[in-house]
Amino acid sequence: MPLTVKYSEKYNDALIALATVTQRPANIVNIAGDYAIRVDLEYNRYAIATNTLRGLSDDPDANGTWLIRFFQSSTDGEQDQVLAEATHQWLIDAFDCALERLEAEGNTIVADADFGDISRPDTTL
């Protein structure tokens, strides 16, 4: 993964934005030779962000569309399942749209404790 540092520098703003909205670390990962931003979530789930269909562009300022996909990791060696995806010109708007689709398609997990739930509004203000 020799280009992770290069992409981390180029996409620092996107990494910070996703880390802020999810309250989890965001990292550059190599997926089959292409690079993407990955955020690991609870319940063996993760989000992948790219600004091209294959991966991250060499030019982070190029006009394009962000693609956000939520996945469920497979524990039995099968391919990870796409739970929801969305595109938008702006990264956080794409994230919000994908999160709405995740909820609309019934793929949210209700737990006894909601600590760290990225879809829960903060009511402590």
Predicted confidence (pLDDT) at residue 25 exceeds the cutoff of 90: yes
Output the pLDDT for position 125: 47
Taken in order 2, 4, 59, 32, is the CA torsion positive or negative?
Answer: positive
Q: Which residue has the higher pLDDT, 124 or 95?
A: 95
DSSP3 helix / strand / coil % (the chain, rounded to 5): 25, 25, 45
pLDDT at 116 over 80: no
pLDDT of 28 strictly over 90: yes
Handedness of CA 107, 113, 117, 122 (dihedral sign): positive
| Residues present in the chain in total | 125
Give pLDDT, residue 11: 94
Question: What pLDDT score does 62 carry?
Answer: 76
